Copies of this chain bind each other. A is one copy, B any other.
Amino acid sequence: MAGKVFTGEEVAQHNTRESCWIIVHGKVYDVSEFLPDHPGGAKIILKYAGKDATAEYEPIHPPDAITKNLPPEKQLGSVDMNTVKKVEVVIRAEDKIRQERFAQLPSLSEVLNLHDFEALARLVMNEKAWAYYSSAADDEITIRENHAAYHRIWFRPRILRNVTNVDWSTKILGIPTKLPIYITATALGKLGHPDGELNLTRAAAKYGVVQMIPTLASCSFDELVDAAAPGQSQFLQLYVNKDREITRKFVQHAEKRGIKGLFITVDAPQLGRREKDMRQKFEAEAPDEMDKNDQKADRSQGAARAISTFIDPGLCWEDIPWFKSITKMPLILKGVQCWEDALRAYDEGLAGVVLSNHGGRQLEFARSGVEVLAEVVEKLKEKRGIEFPNEKFQIFVDGGVRRATDVLKAIALGATAVGIGRPFLYAFSTYGQDGVEKILQILNDEFEMNMRLLGAPTLKDVVRDMVDASCLHQHIVSVPDDRLFYLNYESMAHAQLRVAKDAKPRL
Protein backbone atom coordinates (compact mmCIF):
# COMPACT_ATOMS: atom_id res chain seq x y z
CA MET A 1 0.00 0.00 0.00
CA ALA A 2 2.85 2.21 -0.81
CA GLY A 3 2.24 5.15 -3.00
CA LYS A 4 -0.29 3.82 -5.48
CA VAL A 5 -3.07 6.30 -6.18
CA PHE A 6 -6.16 5.13 -8.00
CA THR A 7 -8.90 7.02 -9.73
CA GLY A 8 -12.48 6.57 -8.74
CA GLU A 9 -13.18 5.07 -12.12
CA GLU A 10 -10.56 2.38 -11.67
CA VAL A 11 -11.99 1.41 -8.36
CA ALA A 12 -15.53 1.45 -9.71
CA GLN A 13 -14.76 -1.38 -12.06
CA HIS A 14 -14.19 -3.77 -9.18
CA ASN A 15 -17.83 -3.97 -8.29
CA THR A 16 -18.48 -7.72 -8.31
CA ARG A 17 -18.34 -10.53 -5.82
CA GLU A 18 -15.32 -11.85 -7.71
CA SER A 19 -13.43 -8.59 -7.60
CA CYS A 20 -14.70 -6.35 -4.90
CA TRP A 21 -12.84 -3.18 -4.00
CA ILE A 22 -14.05 -0.56 -1.61
CA ILE A 23 -12.91 2.88 -0.49
CA VAL A 24 -12.68 3.82 3.19
CA HIS A 25 -11.30 7.15 4.30
CA GLY A 26 -9.65 7.65 0.92
CA LYS A 27 -7.89 4.27 0.92
CA VAL A 28 -8.60 1.43 -1.48
CA TYR A 29 -9.05 -2.14 -0.26
CA ASP A 30 -9.57 -5.40 -2.10
CA VAL A 31 -12.04 -7.30 0.07
CA SER A 32 -12.98 -10.02 -2.41
CA GLU A 33 -11.52 -12.81 -0.32
CA PHE A 34 -12.67 -11.30 2.93
CA LEU A 35 -16.32 -11.28 1.89
CA PRO A 36 -17.28 -14.69 3.35
CA ASP A 37 -15.54 -13.85 6.63
CA HIS A 38 -17.18 -10.50 7.20
CA PRO A 39 -19.05 -10.79 10.50
CA GLY A 40 -21.75 -8.47 9.19
CA GLY A 41 -22.29 -10.56 6.06
CA ALA A 42 -21.07 -10.16 2.50
CA LYS A 43 -24.15 -8.39 1.32
CA ILE A 44 -23.61 -5.12 3.06
CA ILE A 45 -20.10 -4.87 1.60
CA LEU A 46 -21.24 -5.75 -1.89
CA LYS A 47 -23.60 -2.80 -1.74
CA TYR A 48 -20.49 -0.62 -1.79
CA ALA A 49 -18.44 -2.66 -4.26
CA GLY A 50 -16.41 -0.20 -6.29
CA LYS A 51 -17.62 2.69 -4.18
CA ASP A 52 -16.83 4.82 -1.16
CA ALA A 53 -18.04 2.89 1.94
CA THR A 54 -16.79 5.35 4.53
CA ALA A 55 -20.17 6.62 5.75
CA GLU A 56 -21.42 3.11 6.35
CA TYR A 57 -18.13 1.86 7.75
CA GLU A 58 -17.29 4.57 10.17
CA PRO A 59 -19.81 4.48 12.98
CA ILE A 60 -19.78 0.73 13.44
CA HIS A 61 -16.10 -0.12 13.18
CA PRO A 62 -13.18 0.84 15.34
CA PRO A 63 -10.90 3.01 13.22
CA ASP A 64 -8.33 0.31 12.60
CA ALA A 65 -10.73 -2.58 11.99
CA ILE A 66 -10.02 -2.80 8.31
CA THR A 67 -6.25 -2.60 8.48
CA LYS A 68 -6.18 -5.21 11.22
CA ASN A 69 -8.33 -7.65 9.32
CA LEU A 70 -6.91 -7.36 5.81
CA PRO A 71 -3.45 -8.63 4.88
CA PRO A 72 -1.16 -5.81 3.70
CA GLU A 73 -1.30 -6.89 0.08
CA LYS A 74 -5.02 -6.23 -0.03
CA GLN A 75 -4.54 -2.67 1.15
CA LEU A 76 -4.03 -1.44 -2.36
CA GLY A 77 -3.32 2.25 -2.01
CA SER A 78 -5.21 5.54 -1.95
CA VAL A 79 -7.65 7.18 -4.28
CA ASP A 80 -8.07 10.68 -5.58
CA MET A 81 -11.33 11.52 -3.86
CA ASN A 82 -12.12 14.18 -6.42
CA THR A 83 -12.55 11.46 -8.97
CA VAL A 84 -14.80 9.34 -6.82
CA LYS A 85 -18.50 9.52 -7.45
CA LYS A 86 -20.33 10.63 -4.35
CA VAL A 87 -22.40 7.87 -2.84
CA GLU A 88 -25.84 9.27 -2.49
CA VAL A 89 -27.13 8.44 0.89
CA VAL A 90 -30.84 7.81 0.65
CA ILE A 91 -32.47 8.93 3.82
CA ARG A 92 -35.69 7.11 4.48
CA ALA A 93 -38.75 9.22 5.21
CA GLU A 94 -38.91 8.06 8.78
CA ASP A 95 -35.25 8.86 9.43
CA LYS A 96 -35.93 12.31 8.09
CA ILE A 97 -38.73 12.76 10.57
CA ARG A 98 -36.39 11.68 13.32
CA GLN A 99 -33.78 14.15 12.14
CA GLU A 100 -36.30 16.95 12.16
CA ARG A 101 -37.19 16.23 15.72
CA PHE A 102 -33.81 17.43 16.85
CA ALA A 103 -35.11 20.95 16.39
CA GLN A 104 -37.97 20.12 18.71
CA LEU A 105 -35.89 18.87 21.60
CA PRO A 106 -36.83 20.71 24.76
CA SER A 107 -34.40 23.02 26.49
CA LEU A 108 -31.89 21.10 28.59
CA SER A 109 -33.29 22.85 31.63
CA GLU A 110 -36.44 20.81 31.14
CA VAL A 111 -34.53 17.55 31.30
CA LEU A 112 -34.91 16.60 34.92
CA ASN A 113 -33.49 13.12 35.20
CA LEU A 114 -31.58 10.42 33.36
CA HIS A 115 -34.76 8.75 32.12
CA ASP A 116 -35.59 11.85 30.11
CA PHE A 117 -32.56 11.45 27.88
CA GLU A 118 -33.61 7.95 26.95
CA ALA A 119 -37.16 9.06 26.17
CA LEU A 120 -35.88 11.77 23.88
CA ALA A 121 -33.17 9.63 22.32
CA ARG A 122 -35.75 7.09 21.29
CA LEU A 123 -37.55 9.81 19.36
CA VAL A 124 -34.58 11.29 17.54
CA MET A 125 -31.99 8.57 17.06
CA ASN A 126 -31.94 6.55 13.86
CA GLU A 127 -33.25 3.06 14.29
CA LYS A 128 -29.99 1.25 13.82
CA ALA A 129 -28.25 3.22 16.53
CA TRP A 130 -31.20 2.95 18.89
CA ALA A 131 -31.39 -0.79 18.32
CA TYR A 132 -27.69 -1.25 19.00
CA TYR A 133 -27.63 0.85 22.15
CA SER A 134 -30.92 -0.27 23.68
CA SER A 135 -30.95 -3.95 22.82
CA ALA A 136 -30.00 -6.72 25.20
CA ALA A 137 -29.82 -10.50 25.40
CA ASP A 138 -32.67 -12.90 24.58
CA ASP A 139 -35.93 -11.65 26.09
CA GLU A 140 -34.33 -8.57 27.64
CA ILE A 141 -35.27 -9.66 31.10
CA THR A 142 -31.83 -9.16 32.58
CA ILE A 143 -31.48 -5.58 31.40
CA ARG A 144 -34.70 -4.70 33.18
CA GLU A 145 -33.85 -6.75 36.25
CA ASN A 146 -30.66 -4.70 36.58
CA HIS A 147 -32.81 -1.68 37.28
CA ALA A 148 -35.50 -3.54 39.21
CA ALA A 149 -32.98 -4.99 41.66
CA TYR A 150 -32.30 -1.53 43.07
CA HIS A 151 -35.97 -1.20 43.92
CA ARG A 152 -35.74 -4.15 46.27
CA ILE A 153 -33.32 -2.17 48.42
CA TRP A 154 -34.83 0.40 50.75
CA PHE A 155 -33.22 3.05 52.89
CA ARG A 156 -32.91 3.35 56.64
CA PRO A 157 -32.02 7.05 56.79
CA ARG A 158 -30.70 8.70 59.96
CA ILE A 159 -31.90 12.02 61.30
CA LEU A 160 -30.52 14.96 63.23
CA ARG A 161 -27.04 14.86 61.84
CA ASN A 162 -25.40 18.05 60.73
CA VAL A 163 -25.61 17.89 56.96
CA THR A 164 -24.93 21.51 56.19
CA ASN A 165 -21.91 20.41 54.22
CA VAL A 166 -22.10 17.16 52.33
CA ASP A 167 -19.36 15.69 50.21
CA TRP A 168 -19.79 12.88 47.70
CA SER A 169 -16.30 12.82 46.24
CA THR A 170 -14.16 9.73 46.60
CA LYS A 171 -11.20 7.89 45.07
CA ILE A 172 -11.28 5.12 42.48
CA LEU A 173 -8.07 3.08 42.32
CA GLY A 174 -6.44 6.02 44.05
CA ILE A 175 -7.76 8.52 41.49
CA PRO A 176 -9.85 11.34 42.93
CA THR A 177 -13.34 11.69 41.49
CA LYS A 178 -15.94 14.31 42.30
CA LEU A 179 -18.74 11.76 42.17
CA PRO A 180 -18.72 8.08 43.16
CA ILE A 181 -19.41 7.03 39.59
CA TYR A 182 -17.42 6.53 36.42
CA ILE A 183 -18.36 6.54 32.76
CA THR A 184 -18.18 2.92 31.82
CA ALA A 185 -17.09 1.58 28.45
CA THR A 186 -19.69 1.31 25.68
CA ALA A 187 -18.97 0.66 22.03
CA LEU A 188 -19.68 2.57 18.82
CA GLY A 189 -20.24 6.06 20.09
CA LYS A 190 -20.44 7.53 16.60
CA LEU A 191 -23.70 5.74 16.00
CA GLY A 192 -25.23 8.31 18.30
CA HIS A 193 -23.19 11.44 17.64
CA PRO A 194 -20.46 12.41 15.16
CA ASP A 195 -18.04 13.14 17.99
CA GLY A 196 -18.63 9.73 19.53
CA GLU A 197 -16.80 9.08 22.77
CA LEU A 198 -15.12 12.47 22.68
CA ASN A 199 -18.32 13.85 24.17
CA LEU A 200 -17.63 11.76 27.22
CA THR A 201 -13.95 12.67 27.50
CA ARG A 202 -14.67 16.38 27.45
CA ALA A 203 -17.57 16.29 29.90
CA ALA A 204 -15.65 14.01 32.23
CA ALA A 205 -12.86 16.55 32.39
CA LYS A 206 -15.26 19.32 33.25
CA TYR A 207 -17.02 17.44 36.01
CA GLY A 208 -14.05 15.61 37.46
CA VAL A 209 -15.04 12.03 36.79
CA VAL A 210 -13.15 9.17 35.17
CA GLN A 211 -13.96 7.84 31.71
CA MET A 212 -13.28 4.22 30.86
CA ILE A 213 -12.20 4.04 27.22
CA PRO A 214 -13.72 1.09 25.36
CA THR A 215 -11.73 -1.21 23.10
CA LEU A 216 -14.55 -0.89 20.58
CA ALA A 217 -14.78 2.89 20.62
CA SER A 218 -15.70 4.63 17.37
CA CYS A 219 -12.93 7.10 18.08
CA SER A 220 -9.41 5.78 18.17
CA PHE A 221 -7.78 5.19 21.53
CA ASP A 222 -5.19 7.89 20.97
CA GLU A 223 -7.78 10.39 19.88
CA LEU A 224 -9.54 9.93 23.22
CA VAL A 225 -6.34 10.15 25.23
CA ASP A 226 -5.22 13.20 23.33
CA ALA A 227 -8.51 14.89 24.14
CA ALA A 228 -7.99 14.53 27.87
CA ALA A 229 -7.49 17.74 29.84
CA PRO A 230 -4.31 18.15 31.84
CA GLY A 231 -4.54 15.92 34.90
CA GLN A 232 -7.62 14.09 33.65
CA SER A 233 -7.53 10.36 34.41
CA GLN A 234 -8.80 7.61 32.13
CA PHE A 235 -9.23 3.86 32.41
CA LEU A 236 -9.17 1.33 29.61
CA GLN A 237 -11.62 -1.48 29.02
CA LEU A 238 -9.96 -4.39 27.27
CA TYR A 239 -11.30 -7.12 25.01
CA VAL A 240 -8.49 -9.64 24.79
CA ASN A 241 -7.47 -10.60 21.27
CA LYS A 242 -6.90 -14.15 20.15
CA ASP A 243 -3.56 -12.82 19.05
CA ARG A 244 -2.00 -11.97 22.40
CA GLU A 245 0.71 -9.93 20.79
CA ILE A 246 -1.86 -7.41 19.61
CA THR A 247 -3.18 -7.24 23.15
CA ARG A 248 0.29 -6.84 24.64
CA LYS A 249 1.07 -3.92 22.39
CA PHE A 250 -2.25 -2.26 23.07
CA VAL A 251 -1.89 -2.61 26.84
CA GLN A 252 1.65 -1.35 26.94
CA HIS A 253 0.76 1.53 24.68
CA ALA A 254 -2.12 2.40 27.00
CA GLU A 255 0.15 2.34 30.02
CA LYS A 256 2.57 4.62 28.29
CA ARG A 257 -0.21 7.01 27.44
CA GLY A 258 -1.04 7.28 31.14
CA ILE A 259 -4.06 5.03 31.53
CA LYS A 260 -4.72 4.53 35.24
CA GLY A 261 -6.47 1.17 35.33
CA LEU A 262 -7.03 -1.79 33.04
CA PHE A 263 -10.51 -3.33 33.12
CA ILE A 264 -10.34 -6.74 31.44
CA THR A 265 -13.76 -7.84 30.21
CA VAL A 266 -14.43 -11.42 31.33
CA ASP A 267 -18.15 -11.80 30.67
CA ALA A 268 -17.96 -11.79 26.89
CA PRO A 269 -16.08 -14.73 25.39
CA GLN A 270 -18.63 -14.26 22.61
CA LEU A 271 -20.83 -11.21 22.17
CA GLY A 272 -24.51 -11.79 22.92
CA ARG A 273 -27.37 -12.36 20.52
CA ARG A 274 -29.41 -9.20 20.78
CA GLU A 275 -32.59 -9.78 18.90
CA LYS A 276 -33.82 -6.22 18.80
CA ASP A 277 -30.60 -5.34 17.07
CA MET A 278 -30.83 -8.36 14.76
CA ARG A 279 -34.44 -7.71 13.92
CA GLN A 280 -33.72 -4.11 13.07
CA LYS A 281 -31.77 -5.35 10.09
CA PHE A 282 -34.77 -7.11 8.63
CA GLU A 283 -37.14 -4.32 9.45
CA ALA A 284 -34.97 -1.89 7.60
CA GLU A 285 -34.92 -3.86 4.37
CA ALA A 286 -37.97 -4.33 2.21
CA PRO A 287 -38.74 -8.02 1.73
CA ASP A 288 -38.40 -7.88 -2.03
CA GLU A 289 -34.78 -6.94 -1.71
CA MET A 290 -34.05 -10.26 -0.15
CA ASP A 291 -32.13 -12.85 -2.05
CA LYS A 292 -34.37 -15.79 -2.85
CA ASN A 293 -31.48 -18.16 -2.25
CA ASP A 294 -30.91 -16.55 1.06
CA GLN A 295 -34.21 -17.74 2.49
CA LYS A 296 -32.78 -20.27 4.87
CA ALA A 297 -29.31 -18.87 5.19
CA ASP A 298 -28.34 -17.18 8.37
CA ARG A 299 -28.17 -13.44 7.92
CA SER A 300 -26.43 -10.75 9.87
CA GLN A 301 -26.57 -11.01 13.61
CA GLY A 302 -26.63 -7.29 14.17
CA ALA A 303 -23.90 -4.86 15.02
CA ALA A 304 -22.63 -6.71 18.06
CA ARG A 305 -21.45 -9.75 16.16
CA ALA A 306 -20.09 -7.67 13.36
CA ILE A 307 -17.45 -6.10 15.51
CA SER A 308 -16.39 -8.79 17.90
CA THR A 309 -14.93 -11.80 16.16
CA PHE A 310 -11.41 -11.09 17.36
CA ILE A 311 -12.33 -11.64 21.02
CA ASP A 312 -10.70 -14.70 22.50
CA PRO A 313 -13.09 -17.23 24.08
CA GLY A 314 -10.04 -19.04 25.39
CA LEU A 315 -9.11 -16.31 27.86
CA CYS A 316 -8.76 -17.91 31.29
CA TRP A 317 -7.33 -17.63 34.79
CA GLU A 318 -4.03 -18.97 33.56
CA ASP A 319 -3.60 -15.76 31.54
CA ILE A 320 -3.61 -13.54 34.60
CA PRO A 321 0.11 -13.85 35.43
CA TRP A 322 0.90 -12.84 31.88
CA PHE A 323 -1.12 -9.65 32.25
CA LYS A 324 0.74 -8.89 35.43
CA SER A 325 3.99 -9.41 33.57
CA ILE A 326 3.24 -6.92 30.81
CA THR A 327 1.88 -3.98 32.79
CA LYS A 328 1.99 -2.23 36.13
CA MET A 329 -1.48 -0.76 35.73
CA PRO A 330 -4.00 -1.93 38.31
CA LEU A 331 -5.85 -4.93 36.85
CA ILE A 332 -9.60 -5.22 37.36
CA LEU A 333 -11.85 -7.99 36.08
CA LYS A 334 -14.99 -6.59 34.50
CA GLY A 335 -17.99 -8.94 34.51
CA VAL A 336 -17.55 -11.04 37.65
CA GLN A 337 -20.86 -12.62 38.62
CA CYS A 338 -20.49 -14.74 41.73
CA TRP A 339 -18.52 -14.63 44.96
CA GLU A 340 -16.35 -17.60 44.01
CA ASP A 341 -14.80 -15.68 41.13
CA ALA A 342 -14.49 -12.49 43.15
CA LEU A 343 -12.64 -14.43 45.80
CA ARG A 344 -10.26 -15.86 43.25
CA ALA A 345 -9.63 -12.41 41.81
CA TYR A 346 -8.75 -11.29 45.32
CA ASP A 347 -6.50 -14.27 45.86
CA GLU A 348 -4.77 -13.65 42.53
CA GLY A 349 -3.81 -10.24 43.83
CA LEU A 350 -5.86 -8.18 41.39
CA ALA A 351 -6.92 -4.63 42.18
CA GLY A 352 -10.64 -5.23 42.06
CA VAL A 353 -13.67 -6.49 40.22
CA VAL A 354 -16.63 -5.01 38.40
CA LEU A 355 -19.75 -6.98 39.29
CA SER A 356 -21.67 -6.72 36.08
CA ASN A 357 -23.67 -8.67 33.55
CA HIS A 358 -22.64 -6.38 30.72
CA GLY A 359 -25.78 -4.30 30.85
CA GLY A 360 -27.95 -7.36 30.33
CA ARG A 361 -26.42 -7.84 26.88
CA GLN A 362 -24.68 -11.17 27.43
CA LEU A 363 -26.09 -14.03 29.52
CA GLU A 364 -29.83 -13.73 30.03
CA PHE A 365 -30.77 -14.46 33.66
CA ALA A 366 -27.38 -13.46 34.99
CA ARG A 367 -28.08 -11.70 38.27
CA SER A 368 -27.70 -7.95 38.59
CA GLY A 369 -24.41 -6.50 39.77
CA VAL A 370 -25.95 -5.03 42.87
CA GLU A 371 -27.40 -8.38 43.89
CA VAL A 372 -24.06 -10.10 43.43
CA LEU A 373 -22.47 -7.28 45.43
CA ALA A 374 -24.34 -8.27 48.59
CA GLU A 375 -23.19 -11.85 48.16
CA VAL A 376 -19.57 -10.98 47.43
CA VAL A 377 -19.19 -8.62 50.37
CA GLU A 378 -20.66 -11.17 52.75
CA LYS A 379 -18.56 -14.06 51.51
CA LEU A 380 -15.25 -12.20 51.26
CA LYS A 381 -15.72 -11.06 54.79
CA GLU A 382 -16.47 -14.62 55.85
CA LYS A 383 -13.64 -16.22 53.88
CA ARG A 384 -10.92 -13.61 54.03
CA GLY A 385 -11.98 -11.28 56.81
CA ILE A 386 -11.99 -8.13 54.70
CA GLU A 387 -14.41 -5.23 54.89
CA PHE A 388 -15.85 -3.09 52.09
CA PRO A 389 -15.45 -0.49 50.68
CA ASN A 390 -11.84 -1.51 50.62
CA GLU A 391 -8.93 0.41 49.15
CA LYS A 392 -6.80 -2.62 48.37
CA PHE A 393 -9.47 -4.59 46.59
CA GLN A 394 -12.20 -2.42 45.18
CA ILE A 395 -15.60 -3.55 44.09
CA PHE A 396 -17.53 -1.77 41.37
CA VAL A 397 -20.95 -2.50 39.96
CA ASP A 398 -22.71 -1.36 36.84
CA GLY A 399 -26.06 -1.85 35.13
CA GLY A 400 -29.46 -0.28 35.59
CA VAL A 401 -28.38 2.85 37.46
CA ARG A 402 -30.55 5.91 36.86
CA ARG A 403 -30.56 7.83 40.15
CA ALA A 404 -28.09 8.91 42.79
CA THR A 405 -30.11 6.79 45.21
CA ASP A 406 -29.13 3.71 43.19
CA VAL A 407 -25.48 4.62 43.59
CA LEU A 408 -25.87 5.28 47.31
CA LYS A 409 -27.43 1.86 47.78
CA ALA A 410 -24.45 0.21 46.12
CA ILE A 411 -22.07 2.20 48.26
CA ALA A 412 -23.94 1.27 51.43
CA LEU A 413 -23.54 -2.36 50.39
CA GLY A 414 -19.78 -1.99 49.95
CA ALA A 415 -19.08 -0.75 46.42
CA THR A 416 -16.38 1.85 45.86
CA ALA A 417 -18.12 3.37 42.86
CA VAL A 418 -20.67 2.60 40.20
CA GLY A 419 -20.37 2.54 36.44
CA ILE A 420 -22.98 4.25 34.29
CA GLY A 421 -23.22 3.52 30.58
CA ARG A 422 -26.32 3.82 28.42
CA PRO A 423 -27.63 7.09 29.96
CA PHE A 424 -24.50 8.83 28.71
CA LEU A 425 -25.03 7.42 25.23
CA TYR A 426 -28.58 8.71 25.17
CA ALA A 427 -27.38 12.04 26.49
CA PHE A 428 -24.85 12.67 23.73
CA SER A 429 -27.15 11.22 21.08
CA THR A 430 -29.60 14.00 21.88
CA TYR A 431 -27.59 16.96 23.18
CA GLY A 432 -23.95 16.03 22.52
CA GLN A 433 -21.46 17.02 25.20
CA ASP A 434 -24.01 19.31 26.84
CA GLY A 435 -26.20 16.31 27.51
CA VAL A 436 -23.38 14.43 29.20
CA GLU A 437 -22.63 17.42 31.37
CA LYS A 438 -26.28 17.76 32.26
CA ILE A 439 -26.32 14.18 33.55
CA LEU A 440 -23.38 14.92 35.77
CA GLN A 441 -25.06 18.08 37.00
CA ILE A 442 -28.29 16.21 37.76
CA LEU A 443 -26.34 13.59 39.66
CA ASN A 444 -24.56 16.28 41.65
CA ASP A 445 -27.95 17.73 42.60
CA GLU A 446 -29.29 14.34 43.52
CA PHE A 447 -26.26 13.40 45.57
CA GLU A 448 -26.37 16.61 47.55
CA MET A 449 -30.05 16.14 48.30
CA ASN A 450 -29.90 12.47 49.14
CA MET A 451 -26.75 12.58 51.24
CA ARG A 452 -28.56 15.14 53.38
CA LEU A 453 -31.73 13.11 53.55
CA LEU A 454 -29.78 10.00 54.45
CA GLY A 455 -28.00 11.85 57.22
CA ALA A 456 -24.61 11.16 55.69
CA PRO A 457 -22.14 14.08 55.44
CA THR A 458 -19.60 11.97 53.53
CA LEU A 459 -19.61 8.69 51.63
CA LYS A 460 -17.93 7.02 54.60
CA ASP A 461 -21.15 7.68 56.50
CA VAL A 462 -23.16 5.71 53.95
CA VAL A 463 -22.96 2.39 55.78
CA ARG A 464 -24.49 -1.05 55.55
CA ASP A 465 -27.12 -0.32 58.19
CA MET A 466 -28.55 2.42 56.03
CA VAL A 467 -30.15 -0.06 53.67
CA ASP A 468 -32.62 -2.88 54.07
CA ALA A 469 -31.62 -5.35 51.36
CA SER A 470 -33.41 -8.33 52.84
CA CYS A 471 -35.49 -8.86 49.68
CA LEU A 472 -32.67 -8.30 47.22
CA HIS A 473 -32.38 -11.97 46.32
CA GLN A 474 -36.08 -12.44 45.68
CA HIS A 475 -36.75 -13.43 42.06
CA ILE A 476 -40.48 -13.67 42.05
CA VAL A 477 -42.70 -14.48 39.12
CA SER A 478 -46.33 -14.43 40.13
CA VAL A 479 -48.78 -17.18 39.46
CA PRO A 480 -50.31 -16.34 36.07
CA ASP A 481 -53.55 -14.43 36.40
CA ASP A 482 -56.98 -15.98 36.19
CA ARG A 483 -58.30 -14.14 33.16
CA LEU A 484 -61.93 -15.22 33.43
CA PHE A 485 -62.10 -14.11 37.04
CA TYR A 486 -60.46 -10.76 36.44
CA LEU A 487 -62.40 -10.04 33.28
CA ASN A 488 -65.51 -10.54 35.37
CA TYR A 489 -64.39 -8.21 38.10
CA GLU A 490 -66.03 -4.85 37.60
CA SER A 491 -63.59 -2.23 38.73
CA MET A 492 -64.69 0.24 41.35
CA ALA A 493 -65.19 3.81 40.16
CA HIS A 494 -64.85 7.17 41.81
CA ALA A 495 -67.54 9.74 42.32
CA GLN A 496 -67.97 11.60 39.06
CA LEU A 497 -68.77 15.03 37.79
CA ARG A 498 -72.43 15.40 36.97
CA VAL A 499 -72.03 15.74 33.24
CA ALA A 500 -69.75 12.79 33.00
CA LYS A 501 -72.31 10.72 34.86
CA ASP A 502 -75.15 11.78 32.62
CA ALA A 503 -73.22 11.19 29.46
CA LYS A 504 -72.30 7.61 30.10
CA PRO A 505 -74.96 4.90 29.83
CA ARG A 506 -73.79 1.95 31.90
CA LEU A 507 -74.25 -1.04 29.68
Question: Which A residues are closer than 8 A to B by beta carbons?
Answer: 93-94, 97-98, 101, 104-113, 115-116, 118-120, 122-123, 127, 134, 138-141, 144-145, 147-149, 151-164, 266-270, 272-273, 275-276, 278-279, 282-283, 286-287, 290, 294-299, 312-317, 319-320, 333, 335-338, 340-341, 362-367, 402-403, 405, 409, 434, 438, 441, 445-446, 448-450, 452-454, 465, 468, 470-471, 473-485, 487-502, 505-507
A409–B452 alpha-carbon span in the complex (Å): 31
A sample of 15 more A-B contacts (CB under 8 A), given A109-B298, A152-B475, A163-B313, is: A105-B498, A107-B282, A107-B294, A110-B282, A110-B299, A112-B279, A112-B495, A140-B492, A153-B365, A159-B333, A159-B335, A163-B270, A275-B492, A296-B438, A484-B492
Are B333 and A287 in contact (CB-based, < 8 A)?
A: no
21 examples of A-B residue contacts, CB within 8 angstroms:
A98-B507, A104-B498, A104-B499, A106-B287, A139-B483, A139-B492, A140-B489, A141-B479, A147-B482, A151-B365, A154-B475, A160-B333, A161-B317, A163-B270, A270-B448, A276-B490, A296-B434, A363-B453, A470-B473, A476-B476, A483-B491
**A430–chain B nearest beta-carbon distance, Å:** 10
Contact partner of A476 (CB less than 8 A), chosen from B441, B479, B487, is: B479
Given A283-B506, A452-B270, are A482 and B158 neighbors across the interface (CB < 8 Å)?
A: no
A37–B336 alpha-carbon span in the complex (Å): 48
Are B314 and A163 in contact (CB-based, < 8 A)?
A: yes
Of all chain B residues, the one with the shortest Cβ separation from A320 is: B160
Of all chain B residues, the one with the shortest Cβ separation from A336 is: B159
Are B477 and A477 in contact (CB-based, < 8 A)?
A: no
A497–B430 alpha-carbon span in the complex (Å): 12
Are A497 and B338 in contact (CB-based, < 8 A)?
A: no
Are A158 and B340 in contact (CB-based, < 8 A)?
A: yes
A502–B149 alpha-carbon span in the complex (Å): 36
Are B365 and A405 in contact (CB-based, < 8 A)?
A: yes
**A186–chain B nearest beta-carbon distance, Å:** 17
Are B267 and A119 in contact (CB-based, < 8 A)?
A: no
Within 8 Å CB of A283, what residues of B? 501, 506
A294–B487 alpha-carbon span in the complex (Å): 29
Of all chain B residues, the one with the shortest Cβ separation from A156 is: B338
A115–B139 alpha-carbon span in the complex (Å): 10
A386–B493 alpha-carbon span in the complex (Å): 44
Within 8 Å CB of A160, what residues of B? 266, 315-317, 319-320, 333, 341
Within 8 Å CB of A127, what residues of B? 506
**A111–chain B nearest beta-carbon distance, Å:** 5
**A416–chain B nearest beta-carbon distance, Å:** 20
Given A115-B494, A314-B162, are A287 and B148 neighbors across the interface (CB < 8 Å)?
A: no
Are A313 and B452 in contact (CB-based, < 8 A)?
A: yes
A290–B269 alpha-carbon span in the complex (Å): 51
**A349–chain B nearest beta-carbon distance, Å:** 15
Of all chain B residues, the one with the shortest Cβ separation from A484 is: B115
Within 8 Å CB of A278, what residues of B? 112
Contact partner of A272 (CB less than 8 A), chosen from B104, B123, B449, B480, is: B449
Within 8 Å CB of A340, what residues of B? 158, 465
Within 8 Å CB of A498, what residues of B? 104-106, 287
